Amino acid sequence: MSTAATPDHTTARTADGAGGSGSAARPSILTLTMNPAVDLCWEVGHLEGIGKNRARVRSVAAGGGGINVARHVVRLGGRATAVHTAGGEVGLRLNHLLDEEGIDHVAVDIDDETREALVLFEAESRRSYHIVPPGPQLHDREGRRSLDALERAAGSCPYVVASGSLPGGLPDDFYAAASRRIKEAGSRLVLDTSGPALRGALAEGVFLLRCNRTEAESLTGRPVRGFDDARALNEHLLTTGAAEIAVTTLGELGALCSTGHGHTELYAPPLPGEPLSDAGAGDSMVAALTTRLAAGEDPVSACALGVAVAAAAMLTPSTEPFDLNVGRSLRSQVRTRFQTDARRRGV
């Protein structure tokens, strides 16, 4: 494992010892995680309200949207590099965990402490409790350094995935600024975020926008219960230039993938076991979708694999990696229904 400090407070780390962006095997997908975490997963037999609860540690891993996406891209046979912030003792641990796992990454140093997040899994009820703090406060200069690091790395990557929440201190239009930089570098941005950061990115526009039901409802101001509601949102995103491809996920129903050619409903496959958590489903889907796009697959086929691996991810109690064989087996069970958009076709 090689490390090379750079003058702008970033550290490039690679699994192959080839020196980050100088590697002979260029990464096909770059990810950005501005608010990563060290994810702890503890398991208890039964959660008691009084007295001590004895727990065992199920897993400790580097986490956060883009880092999770990079991990799953590699599992799916792609290549990925994760750009992320790291600060304090937890940030050092985050870097160490990524090095141990063999994930190529570029760490941007920050002054404040990287966060830790906890998943508490109760074996008796098979329920997961996710406890996530807001994370560090960043200075403007740390945001600019992150964008500089992203732009330098993006030149060799056709796709960049920006995923996860923004930490405090960064402006709501941070992802809009990232989108401009990525376009100038000749890459395409896949965005998966929420709240003000999501709204702030829409004016600039992205290549692909993925929203879950909660995020979709925040944009529409009304419930998004099914495919018709998702179609109205996706059409708005496409016609306003907010996205070239819009994917809205609908939980147990599946997802709607919309392009300039029309809308495709993708129905979630039946699960081969009990769902334990949806925490890793979104990152798994984005990873599969982007991996297949980078391989030259069309958006609907890529999205179908995304729906399948999202279903597989629900069989794990935290953000632990999904079973690759289960994900692939579920792909054939994803049903689709295509509808052209009459307004776009002038009918």
Residue 80 to residue 104: CA distance in whole angstroms? 7
Which residues have C-beta within 8 Å of that of residue 7, sequence separation ≥ 6?
Answer: none
CA 262 to chain centre: 25
Phi and psi, residue 90, nearest 5°: -65, -35
Candidates 134, 136, 246; CA nearest to 195 is: 134
Give the C-alpha separation, 112 to 170, whole Å. Answer: 13
Structure token pair of residue 94: 């985050």
User: Based on C-alpha coordinates, what's the Rg of the chain?
Assistant: 20
Q: How far from each other are the two terminal CA atoms of the chain, in whole angstroms?
A: 58
Query: Any residues with CB less than 8 A from the CB of 50 and at least 6 apart, and which?
Result: none
Query: Helix, strand or coil for residue 318?
Result: coil
- Do residues 9 and 145 touch, judged by C-beta distance below 8 A? yes
State the pairing for strand pair 159-163/188-192.
parallel
Structure tokens that stand for 153 in this block: 């790395």
> Which ranges in 119-193 belong to alpha helices (H)?
140-154, 174-184
Give residue 179's Cα distance to chain centre: 16
Contacts of 285 (CB under 8 A, 6+ apart): 210, 249, 255, 306, 307, 309, 310, 313
The catalytically annotated residue of 173, 283, 298, 323 is 283
- Is position 283 annotated as part of the catalytic site? yes
Q: Do residues 249 and 287 lie in contact, with contact meaning Cβ atoms separated by under 8 Å?
A: no
**Known catalytic residues?**
283
